[in-house]
Structure 1
Amino acid sequence: MTDSTTSGPDPDHHRRVRAGVGYGFGAYAIWGLLPLYFVLLAPAAPYEIVAMRILFSLLFCLLLLAVTGGLRQYARLFRDRQALLALGLAGVLIAGNWLLYTVAATTGHTLEASLGYFINPIVAILLGVIVLHEKLRPLQWAAIAVGIVAVLVMAVFYGSVPWLSLGLAFSFGFYGLVKSRLGSRYSALVTLTGETTMITPLALVAVAVLGTHGGITLASEGAGHFLLMLSAGVITAVPLLLFGAAASRLPLSTVGMIQYVAPIGQFVLAVAVFHEAMPPERWVGFALVWCAVVLLVLDAVRAPRAPRLPRR
């Protein structure tokens, strides 16, 4: 007679993974379309856009906490020194990532942003292996190898180190690592509010400096511009909440694979909408990236059919 508690699938685990995958795809789909939003914010400069994203995100998150009854857990966060340090680091990393991404999207370098986010899943997967000792399957290793070749092909095209792309890849890769280490001790909304709180002083300093030099467009470009800037809180917070929920439910390597959704969206926008240059070298690089994506899809299809080890 078989003991049902020691073998067979774990329904709760499967539901958790499915939810995590859904949250991850939602987050990266929104991030893939963000360049369209940044274009609408002209003539705001990248520093103003990032500062307003931080400030309005904090207001939006605090409102959500008040509505959902999460303010008590948010207050408890400030008695957890370890969590505060982690969230402070996460906040600095994501603020740097936002700034680089905003610069790319507002200066005609969306393809470089796309390259950065194609590199990012490789960074995330490798961090999962090196830091968290996660195990990868052969097809996943093959996808990493093809992805690295693709990145090298695209990097050679620039004739120099693509610092913007690498900065995006590593800032968000380490951000994902920090968030995954926090686990599920706090809800995604609480951790997002916490990390935004930690970097709010930086945003206030940026606003003060910009204000003294006449660089604030929030109230000088009409009601439509004001409302678009105000919506930065929602547009920023929603995908980060989805990402936080995914990171707490999935291995870091799996989150890294889902990240391909964002650069695909950015690539389509850069070529079809912004008409950025796509010489043959870039086409070759992106073709290799698609080969890596196909390998990841094949692995994802095969993985659920693999036999599960009995649980102890």
Structure 2
Amino acid sequence: MSEPATRPVAPSQDPKGVILGASAYACWGLFPAFFGLLAFAAPVEILAHRIVWTMLLMLVVVLLLGQGRALLRMGARNWALVAAASLFISINWGMYIYGVVSGRVVETALGYFINPLVSVLIGVIIFRERLSRAQTVALGLGALAVIVLTLDYGYPPYIALSLAFSFALYGVTKKLIPIDPRQSVAGETLVAAPLALIVLGWLALHGQGSFLDGGAPHVLLLIAAGPVTAIPLLLFAGAAQRVPLVTMGLLQYLTPSLQMAWGVIVLREDMPASRWLGFAIIWLALAILTTDLVRRYRGRRARRMRSVSAPA
């Protein structure tokens, strides 16, 4: 009998990768604690500073990694995709900042709970993917939850929906960019930086900027928006290379869970029974979606293992 074929096996669970991934999602989950400190500035000014300081830090990272030339030589198609990603992530960052500064942290958490459902929906619309029965049920429950929360709020949860759709579209665009994610983030902020600098210049010219108004504390907090943004991105990049996507998919729920806990426990945002009902429906939808994801992953892994051990 011939020796077993040496086909590639799915990556095993790397403890370091899990720690990196959990750390990234925990950082994102604690963002309300940081961005709440920036309430002295307008959301548009915070966004502009976030873009500029993240760009500077990511350019340093790219140069230290020796990827500067690769960034400049990405080609027109890649730059167009990077520009699209820049648009989606700028919308996402801006809406998130607005949600936190306006005291609607729970609604921002809702956006990231909805995000996996929106990603499935976009897969159907853009990539013509076929829905499984579990995915169909999950999407139906997600739509029902949005209706319940719309009745509760008195208006559609536009912050949550904007966050979910912008991040899902950002994720789709990132899948189409065949470059190192650190180069991509550097490029995304580089594309957005000219407009961000114009905004900061206009605010300073009209005496509406707050960068220097509060002295060193304001300066340091706004500059810190750069590393606070970049560090979890770098942690995420390291995790994505070490653990299966299904693990990252499970870890992602850590972010909205922490954000919601901050909004409910620390900020004591109003949570009537009807709002809890809307969230409960979302959680049920996510439980169904996640169970289906894990089942499919285990099935694919079992088939790969059987093919590896089969005679060549």
Q: TM-score, normalised by structure 2?
A: 0.84
Q: Out of 260, 269, 275, which is 2:262 matched to?
A: 269
In structure 2, the partner of 1:283 is 276
Would the aligned equivalents of 1:124 and 1:256 in 2 still touch at CA under 8 Å?
no
Matched, 1:233 2:226: yes
In structure 1, the partner of 2:172 is 177
RMSD over equivalenced CA pairs, Å:
3.1
Structure 1 residues 243 and 170, CA gap change in structure 2 (3 angstroms): farther
In structure 2, the partner of 1:153 is 148
Would the aligned equivalents of 1:188 and 1:245 in 2 still touch at CA under 8 Å?
no
**Which stretches in structure 2 are left out of the alignment for 5+ residues?**
none
CA distance in 1, matches of 2:243, 2:151: 34
Would the aligned equivalents of 1:114 and 1:264 in 2 still touch at CA under 8 Å?
yes
Residue deviations 1:85-142 (CA, integer Å, cap 9, x gap)? 0101111111111111111100111122122222222111222344345566554544
Q: Out of 26, 32, 35, which is 2:32 matched to?
A: 35
Structure 1 residues 282 and 104, CA gap change in structure 2 (3 angstroms): same
Would the aligned equivalents of 2:82 and 2:184 in 1 still touch at CA under 8 Å?
yes
Residue deviations 1:170-218 (CA, integer Å, cap 9, x gap)? 1111111100111xx3211111101111111110111012112222222
Would the aligned equivalents of 1:176 and 1:252 in 2 still touch at CA under 8 Å?
no
CA distance in 1, matches of 2:121, 2:242: 18
Q: Out of 194, 198, 210, which is 2:203 matched to?
A: 210
Stretch deviating more after TM superposition (228-237 or 140-149): 140-149
In structure 1, the partner of 2:54 is 57
Matched, 1:4 2:1: no
CA distance in 2, matches of 1:17, 1:129: 32
Structure 1 residues 135 and 252, CA gap change in structure 2 (3 angstroms): farther
In structure 2, the partner of 1:81 is 76
Letter in 2 for 1:58: M
Would the aligned equivalents of 1:116 and 1:164 in 2 still touch at CA under 8 Å?
yes
Would the aligned equivalents of 2:29 and 2:256 in 1 still touch at CA under 8 Å?
yes
Would the aligned equivalents of 1:121 and 1:259 in 2 still touch at CA under 8 Å?
no
Displacement of 1:51: 0.5
CA distance in 2, matches of 1:17, 1:82: 34
Displacement of 1:25: 4.3
Letter in 1 for 2:179: Y
What is the number of equivalent residue pairs in this alignment?
Answer: 305
CA distance in 2, matches of 1:123, 1:25: 22
Task: Give SS of 2:279's match.
Answer: helix
Displacement of 1:18: 8.6
Letter in 1 for 2:226: G
Q: Out of 121, 134, 139, which is 2:116 matched to?
A: 121
Structure 1 residues 148 and 246, CA gap change in structure 2 (3 angstroms): farther
Letter in 2 for 1:208: G
Letter in 2 for 1:100: M
Percent of residue pairs bearing the same amino acid type = 40
CA distance in 2, matches of 1:246, 1:144: 28
CA distance in 1, matches of 2:62, 2:249: 28
Q: TM-score, normalised by structure 1?
A: 0.84
Displacement of 1:295: 3.1
